[in-house]
Chains A and B, each alone.
Chain A
């Protein structure tokens, strides 16, 4: 084990003899094998801290998946890798079969169809709710295109429909900075959906929400899955249970367990990590 360690990038891997033949970036997303996201053998080291270690993580198309784990388990780092914010030291990350995420920057990844909601609600505080949704809407992203962009009835209706979904219809012309914490969370989820992504990464959507809001969020996230793959990171176990989705537990940068919420709660490894007790077997 330790002999392999530090031997980060082997020159030749037997399963990757003809790696140069793999097309690195293809415009169209290919999901024909039913897997939206492949993360394989990912390792990230931040100045000696091993944030992610030999991680393998797959998400099927249309799947709703929960990602839990104690602080420092690597959940946010994992999202950073998928969205291009952090480059792993080793491993590969593919979106569908044909898009290599490690060769793309944040903007390209977002345009390819991966949306992200941050842990801390991050909306554009000095822009109105309407403008926030307008900027997130699918469509041109070029400098000239955004300069020439015109609103038509259809796009306005789309934004209004979204505002209704996220309960912000009466706030449309308010500056987003004036919204409550929960409303900002909703707005950010709305912005995410406006991007029409194929894979959504949602970091702690329930933080700062009341029970009713949480129930609505669960409903919304569940309705999104099916069409899109959704990965939810959440600390609130009640919320995770309500999502009724397969759960992946991360611990010290690797996958500790995978299964339904009941399996996870009875898993001795997970209990050890979460409760700090040695398993009694």
Chain B
């Protein structure tokens, strides 16, 4: 069966997601992602020309909050504690520029 995706497609998705994949994974994902898209493709059989896209299912609109500082019951320090690496209150990450 001809794949719906190419290896380049999979590599591009991996790159956008900042995920490194092995050549074996590339084969696997090519097959799996193609199958998923093939499955979802069934929807194309439905005539949607007269339908608006469904972006929301709740029917809500204008769910607002007033512009007031809220106390969420924790401190910023509590949040930092849950993060991986902290230096001088900054979040430490792999260097992103040269």
Q: Do A and B come from one complex?
A: no
Report B's interface with A, CB cutoff 8 A. Answer: none
